[in-house]
Structure formats: C-alpha cells, structure tokens
C-alpha cells in the first residue's frame, strides 16, 4: 500500500464516521439548536455527487467515504425534518436533484468543471453552518466531535487530492477548508460565552383570548 493509498483510506474512515457523533447527539436529545437544515441538505448533495465522482475516477476510498456517509446524513435529515415539522421527501428531493445535476456536469464536462461546480455546495454546507453558529441563540444541538472530524476530513482529502493530482477535488476542498476552520473556532468561542450576532427575533407566542359568556 502506497502512502497515497493509506492517506485515502484514513480519509475514508474519518469521512465515514464524522457525522455519527451528530447523529447520536440528535437522536438522544432531539435538540436542533445551532444545526443548519440547509447544511445537512447540502451534505446529502455532496455524499451523492462525490460517490459518483469517485466512481468516475476509479477511487475506491472516495466511493466508500461518500456512500457510507449517507447512513448518517439521511437519518439526521429525517430527524431534523421531524423536529421542524417538514415532510421527509420534500426535504430530500432538492438535494437529489442538485446531486444529479453535478453528476451530469462531471460526466459531460469532466473533473475540472465538476470541481468548479462542487465549490458551490462545498461552501454552502460550511457557510450555512457558519450562519447558524453565529446567529443561533444556543448551539447546544451541535456536536463538537462532528465539527472537528469534518475539518480533519477536509484536511485529509485536500492532501490526498494534491497527491493524486485530481483537479476537481483540489479546487473543491481547498475552497471550503477555511470555512470549516472558522466553524470549529467559532463554535469554541460560543461555548466559552460569546454571544450570538444578528440574533433572529422569535415571533411572540399567541395570547389566548377568553370570551366571557353573556348572562
């Protein structure tokens, strides 16, 4: 096994388990404070699209990492949809459509074009989580282990992409690495007492009106 193969398999292992701490936390607490639905919808996009990209370039580590991650991403989306009162199918269909579009770009235009297109969901998944970390009143629903593993995963796949000289992976991963680092640092600051910025104003609870019966 070459060093490149070893790095790919380590990245596969990390990518496979990175969402498990979040899934366990969400299943146990049902707390979605600080979690981004858009971010996890985009995770589904990337799981599907990178599985197909791995198949197209013949890289088994990438195939396994992305496909096995679905076993965490899908349950997380199901739980979040339930807590938000959304339909599961309606929550996942947009992700499937976007992933299919990205696969089409990869097949028709090649790896470099795919990498450029993959920048968008790569930024969305990390930036959407950034917004929640900055604006949410609390971030108790977020798993720090998953954030740390996600950043580690980006670092490993970035190094792997340079070693195998896959332009698509290099372009996509290097762009999102810095946002992933921001999320990790900002989460730590929030847990140490940093207040939210641009806090969403909650709608006031309706006040029940009691109508007296006329005598």
If residue 38 lies in a helix (H) or strand (E), which one and from where to where?
A: helix 37-57
Question: With the CA atoms of 175, 177, 178 and 183 taken in that order, what torsion angle do they form, in degrees rounded to the nearest 10?
Answer: 130
186 Cβ contact list (under 8 Å, min separation 6): 130, 133, 134, 194
pLDDT of residue 211: 55
Length reported for the chain? 215
- What's the pTM value of the predicted model, to 2 decimals? 0.77
Cβ contact 181:116 at 8 Å: no
pLDDT score for 14: 86
> How many CB atoms are closer than 10 A to CB 77?
20
The series of mean pLDDT values per 10 residues for the chain, 215 residues long, is 82 85 93 90 93 88 86 94 93 94 92 85 84 89 90 87 81 80 92 84 54 53
pLDDT at 48: 95
How much is the pLDDT for 202?
Answer: 55
Rounded Cα–Cα distance for residues 20 and 39 (Å): 16
The C-alpha atoms of residue 9 and residue 160 are separated, in whole angstroms, by: 10
Which residues, 6 or more positions from 155, have their beta carbon under 8 angstroms from its beta carbon?
177
């Amino acid at each position: 096994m070459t060093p490149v193969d070893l790095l790919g398999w380590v990245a596969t292992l990390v990518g496979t388990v990175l969402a498990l701490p979040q899934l366990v936390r969400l299943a146990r607490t049902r707390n979605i404070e600080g979690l981004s639905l858009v971010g996890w919808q985009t995770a589904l996009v990337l799981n599907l699209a990178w599985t197909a990209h791995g198949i197209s370039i013949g890289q088994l580590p990438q195939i396994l990492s992305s496909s096995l991650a679905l076993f965490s991403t899908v349950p997380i989306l199901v739980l979040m949809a339930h807590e938000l009162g959304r339909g599961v199918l309606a929550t996942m269909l947009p992700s499937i459509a976007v992933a299919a579009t990205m696969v089409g770009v990869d097949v028709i235009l090649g790896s470099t074009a795919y990498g450029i297109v993959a920048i968008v969901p790569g930024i969305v998944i990390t930036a959407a989580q950034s917004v929640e970390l900055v604006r949410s009143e609390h971030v108790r629903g977020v798993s720090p282990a998953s954030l740390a593993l996600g950043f580690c995963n980006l670092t490993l796949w970035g190094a792997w992409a340079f070693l195998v000289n896959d332009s698509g992976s290099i372009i996509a991963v290097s762009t999102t690495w810095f946002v992933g680092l921001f999320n990790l640092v900002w989460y730590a600051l929030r847990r140490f007492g940093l207040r939210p910025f641009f806090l969403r104003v909650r709608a006031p609870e309706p006040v029940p009106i009691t109508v007296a019966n006329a005598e």
